[in-house]
Amino acid sequence: MSQSLVVVHALHKSYQTAAGTMPVLKQVDFNMEAGDFVAIMGPSGSGKSTFMNILGCLDKPSSGEYTLDGHTVAQLDNNALAQIRSQTIGFVFQGFNLLSRASLLDNVALPLVYAGVHKAERQARARVLLEK
Ligand X SMILES: Nc1ncnc2c1ncn2[C@@H]1O[C@H](COP(=O)(O)OP(=O)(O)OP(=O)(O)O)[C@@H](O)[C@H]1O
Query: Count residues contacting ligand X (CB under 6 A)?
Result: 12
Separation of alpha carbons 69 and 112, rounded Å: 21
Cβ proximity of 6 and 74 under 8 Å: no
Which one of ligand X, Mg ion, none is in contact with 114 (Cβ closer than 5 to 8 A by kind)?
Answer: none
Separation of alpha carbons 44 and 18, rounded Å: 21
Which one of Mg ion, ligand X, none is in contact with 35 (Cβ closer than 5 to 8 A by kind)?
Answer: none
Cβ proximity of 7 and 67 under 8 Å: yes
Q: Which x/- pattern, by CB under 6 A, does the window 26-55 give for ligand X?
A: ----------------x-xxxxxxx-----
Residue 17 in the binding site for ligand X (CB under 6 A): yes
- Which residue in the set 4, 30, 32, 49 belongs to the binding site for Mg ion (CB under 5 A)? 49
Write down the least CB distance from residue 13 to ligand X, Å.
9
Cα distances (angstroms) measured from residue 104 to each of 66, 95, 109, 115, 120 = 35, 15, 9, 19, 16
Residue 15 in the binding site for ligand X (CB under 6 A): yes
